[in-house]
Structure 1
C-alpha cells in the first residue's frame, strides 16, 4: 500500500509498506529468477566483468548495482519483475562476485563509474536506468553526475554520498585481515552475515546469497571478494555532485536503517532537483532483502514518471 506523505520543496516523500515474503515464496521466486537469468562476461578496459541479465536486448536498459562485499545475485528476487519491459542487468562490480580483481588494485569511485560506462557501451545502451544499493548507490550517484547524457533515471537505495572517516578507517582495517577459509561449503554458508547485521530478510534468501557468493580456492571455501576493495577503497565525496544530477531520481531508505538516517535522506533528496523520497517501514539498510516486494513496488511506481 502506498501512502503519500508531506511533499518537500524540491521533491516528494512517500512511505511504502512492505509485504510479507515467506520462505516458500522466497525459494520459488529465487529459483524462477535464477532459471531465467543469463550469466555473461564482458571485458571492459582489460578487466573481465561478470553480469546477470534478464529480458530481451533492445529494450530500455535497467542496471542494478550491489553494495560493498556483495554480488550480482543480490537482486535475484526482484530483477525478474522488470524483465518484461526492460533489458535488465545486475553487475558484479570489479573485485566482487565472479568479476575479476583489479591488478594493481584500483577501487576508487572513478574506476567503478568507468566500468559502468564500459558496460553500457558493450551492451549498446545509449542510456540506462541505474539502481544502486549502498556502495552501488554511491557509484550510481557519481555516474549520473559525471555522465548525465547516459543516465535515464537513478534509484539510490539506502546510500550516502560520502563515507565518514571513522567508518572508512574501519573498512580499511577490515580489508587488512586475511580472508577466512572454511573447510566445507556448509560451514561457509553458516558463517554468512550481512554488514550491518540488522535484517528481517527471509533465511532462504540469505542462504541463497551465501551460496552464490562463495568459491573453493586454495583448499578451502572463501567469499568471492577482493579484500583490497576495503583496504584501498577511495570513495569520492558525493555531496558536491548531487546538484549536477539531471536524471529523474528516487531515493529509497529503510525506516530502521542505521546507514542513511532520515534527515540525511531528506538532504540527499533536496539536493537533487525533483527527486522523490520513499521510506520502506520495517526495513533496515538491506532494503532489497528485507522487503523485496515493497522495493519492487516502489521502483515500479516511479518508473512510469521518468
Structure 2
C-alpha cells in the first residue's frame, strides 16, 4: 500500500486503480469517509482512467493526529503530497461533499495540478452557502445512534433504493455513512473542518473547466448551493439529477458516471474543434 507524507509528517494512504496509462483521475471522498466512499462506483471510471483515491487524515489507513491540522485547505495540501508521491503532475479531479470543498481549494491554490474539475453535492461554505435545515441537524444529532444512522442513510439515498439493496443483501454496507474505524476525536475534527470551509473569495480563481453536479432532492447539502458555485466559478456548468439525494453518484450511477466521463473526455474534443476552427480561419 503506497503512503505519501504530509508536510507535518502525517502518513497519507492512497491507492491507484484502473487503466494504467489512462488519464489520471483523482477521487476525493466526503467528510469522515475513507477512499471506500467510491467503492460502489469506482469500476465505472477505472475502465478509462487511472484512478487515485486517498484516505483523508483521520480515516482509513492514513495517520490520525489529534492536532489542529484538519481543514479543507489543509486537506488540499495533503492531496498535493499524494500527487507528488504518485508522480502525477496533473489530474482530473472529482470531489463530492467535503471532497468537493477540498477540490475547490486544490483547483484555486494549485491550478497547475488540476486538468478538469467536477464538484459534486458540495458547497462554497459559510457564510455564503446554504446550510442544511434545523430538522436535518436534529435528526442527525438524536441520541439514538441507530436512528441517527437511519436518518443519515435516508439523506444519502431514497428509502426505496435502501430497501431494495437490503432486500437483495441484508448485510449490505453503505460506505458513504462514515468510516467505522475513525476515533471520535477525528470525527469531530472532520466535522469542524467541513463546517469552517469558506472558499467564496477563492472560487473566481479556479481556471479549470468545471462541472457542478447535484441531486435535486439533496437536503444534507442543499441543492441551492450548486448554482452559487456555478455563478462564482468562471465558465462552470451545472448538471442537476432529478430525484437524487446526497449520494447521487451511487444511487443514480447510471446517469451520473456517464455524464462525468463525457465531461472529462470533452477536453480533447474541444481542443480539436478549436484547432479546426483556427485552420479554417487561416
Which interval holds the TM-score relative to the shorter structure?
A: 0.7 to 0.9
- Specify whether residues 224 and 231 from structure 1 end up closer, same or farther in structure 2 by C-alpha distance, changes over 3 A only: closer
Q: Under a length normalisation based on structure 2, what TM-score does the superposition of the two structures give?
A: 0.75
Corresponding residue SS for 1:268: helix
The answer for the alignment partner of 1:112 in structure 2 is: 75
Alpha-carbon contact 1:109-1:234 (below 8 Å) kept: no
The answer for the alignment partner of 1:267 in structure 2 is: 228
Tell me which of 208, 213, 230 is aligned to 2:179. 213
Corresponding residue SS for 2:100: helix
The answer for the alignment partner of 1:286 in structure 2 is: 247
- Specify whether residues 110 and 304 from structure 1 end up closer, same or farther in structure 2 by C-alpha distance, changes over 3 A only: same
The answer for the alignment partner of 2:15 in structure 1 is: 52
Long gaps (5+) in structure 1: 1-38, 171-175, 181-187
CA distance in 2, matches of 1:147, 1:158: 22
Tell me which of 224, 240, 264 is aligned to 1:303. 264
61-70 or 246-255, which moves further after superposition? 61-70
1:104 Cα deviation from its structure 2 partner: 1.8
CA distance in 2, matches of 1:272, 1:106: 27
Tell me which of 32, 54, 75 is aligned to 1:69. 32
Long gaps (5+) in structure 2: 135-140, 268-282
CA distance in 1, matches of 2:45, 2:173: 21
1:223 Cα deviation from its structure 2 partner: 8.2
CA distance in 1, matches of 2:3, 2:86: 11
Alpha-carbon contact 1:251-1:269 (below 8 Å) kept: yes
Corresponding residue SS for 1:116: helix
The answer for the alignment partner of 2:210 in structure 1 is: 249
Q: Does 1:199 align with 2:157?
A: yes
- Specify whether residues 50 and 195 from structure 1 end up closer, same or farther in structure 2 by C-alpha distance, changes over 3 A only: farther
- Specify whether residues 85 and 298 from structure 1 end up closer, same or farther in structure 2 by C-alpha distance, changes over 3 A only: same
Name the structure, 1 or 2, with higher relative contact order (CA <8 Å, separation 6+). Answer: 1
Q: Alpha-carbon deviations, 1:29-88, whole Å to 9, x = none? A: xxxxxxxxxx54333331112223212544321011111122211111221222233210
1:1-306 alignment, distance < 5 Å? 40-45=2-7, 46-164=9-127, 194=152, 197-200=155-158, 201-202=161-162, 203=165, 207-209=172-174, 213-215=179-181, 226-231=187-192, 235-258=196-219, 259-262=221-224, 264-306=225-267
Aligned-CA RMSD value: 3.7
Alpha-carbon contact 1:144-1:150 (below 8 Å) kept: yes
Q: How many residues align?
A: 252
The answer for the alignment partner of 1:35 in structure 2 is: none
Structure with more helix by fraction: 2
Q: Alpha-carbon deviations, 1:225-282, whole Å to 9, x = none? A: 53322246563421211111110110000011122334x3223112222211111111
- Return structure 1 stretches of 4+ with deviation > 6 angstroms: none
Q: Under a length normalisation based on structure 1, what TM-score does the superposition of the two structures give?
A: 0.70
